[in-house]
Amino acid sequence: MKATLTLKQNLPFSPAPRIVELEDDRIALNDIHLPSDRPYLPSYDSSTPRLWVIGNEYGALGAVWASNEQDALDELVDQNLAAGLAIDEKDADEETARLGNAGEPHDLTHAWLSPVEFDKVRDFNLLMKLAEARGAGLDFLSKI
């Protein structure tokens, strides 16, 4: 099944699309923090994990929960969702991005990432599914 995610756009010409569709097995549930967890905060602060979608010129690769861009890229690799960015060790140089716990080489030339912007009405079904998955301790949304 696919989930429709609306991405936050901070720039007038963002490389990330505004709306993406991802298969449920491409949405990791590594550190879920739902908007309802923080009713007293008007928006995410920099230390609160949020859902990031990462992709390249061919589309979205996956979604992971992280506090910042670097952690999101590392988590995407650790969750085995970054195949579209991985390169062979022999093609890497000193400027190649090393991501994940193992420091594997990745080409970020055409990569983009953006946090998901949740709306309580528009995303009600997705938020309920995420809450159910968190309660069940699942790794990916597809296991619901």
Extents of the domains making up the chain: 2-143
pLDDT at site 43: 55
Phi-psi region at 74: left, alpha or beta (left = phi > 0; alpha = psi -120 to 50): alpha
Exposure letters 99-127 (e unless 16+ CB within 10 A, then b): bbeeebbbeeeebbbbbbbbeeeebeebb
pLDDT at site 105: 96
CA 33 to chain centre: 13
Taking every pair of Cα atoms in the chain, the longest distance, rounded to a whole number of angstroms, is 50
pLDDT at site 98: 96
Give the integer Cα–Cα distance in Å for 70 and 76: 10
Report residue 53 as tokens.
């979608």
Tell me the pLDDT of the chain (144 aa) as tens digits. 899 999 998 766 778 889 999 999 999 999 999 887 765 555 555 678 999 999 999 999 999 999 999 999 999 999 999 999 999 999 999 999 999 999 999 999 999 999 999 999 999 999 999 999 999 999 999 887
pLDDT at site 142: 87
